[in-house]
Copies of this chain bind each other. A is one copy, B any other.
Amino acid sequence: MTEHAPLELERFLPYRLSILSNRISQAIARDYQSRFDLSMTEWRVMAVLARFDSQGLSASDVAARTEMDKVAVSRALARLVAARRVARRTHNGDKRRSVLRLTATGWKVHDAVAPLARTHERELLAMLGDDERDALMRVLDKLAPV
């Protein structure tokens, strides 16, 4: 008789991680989308621009910081600029580079979304014990260091 040793998908780590991550991301994305007409990628761009505001980031700085590819960043920025949430200027002395800042409107959105994001995270972490939370953070540090 032949032995096929099928995989138990529901215990397979990569599968479970992808289920978990998709559930969380989609729940959050739906929320941002419906409340602010803001996609996950747009929010990530805004979060980075907010955090490094003083530095006048370029699109490729944003791509590096968000781990998104430059096409995704370019498209997110196109929408954010059209919505006047981000101002795009040209770099002094390097006309290829853009210099990106949140506008006042952009900051308003940011200041509404950021607490919402924190709440989502808190709700997740509340389901875990302290020890599990710590272990999870260590796991993330080891498997996907920043």
Which of A's residues lie within 8 Å of B, judged by CB?
A: 4-10, 12-25, 28, 44, 47-48, 50-51, 53, 65-67, 107, 110-111, 114-115, 117-118, 120-121, 124-125, 127-128, 131-132, 135-136, 138-140, 142-144, 146
**Could you list 10 A-B pairs, sorted by A, with CB under 8 Å?**
A4-B114, A8-B51, A9-B47, A10-B146, A14-B25, A16-B140, A20-B143, A20-B144, A128-B143, A132-B135
Q: Are A7 and B51 also in contact (CB < 8 A) when A12-B117, A16-B144, A23-B144 are?
A: yes
Docked Cα-Cα span, A51 to B14, in Å, equals: 17
Considering the chains assembled together, what is the distance between the CA atoms of A16 and B28 in angstroms? 14
Residue of B at shortest CB range from A20?
B144
Contact present for B18 and A110 (CB under 8 Å): no
B143:A127 contact, CB within 8 angstroms? yes
Question: How far apart sit A144 and B25, CA to CA, in the bound complex (Å)?
Answer: 13
Complex CA–CA separation, A117 to B138 (angstroms): 24
- Residues from chain B with a CB closer than 8 A to the CB of A131 are 135
Q: Which of B5, B21, B50 contacts A17 (CB 8 A)?
A: B21
Given known A-B contacts A14-B120, A44-B15, A110 and B4 have beta carbons under 8 A apart: yes
Central interface residue in A114, A128, A135, by most chain B CB within 10 Å: A135
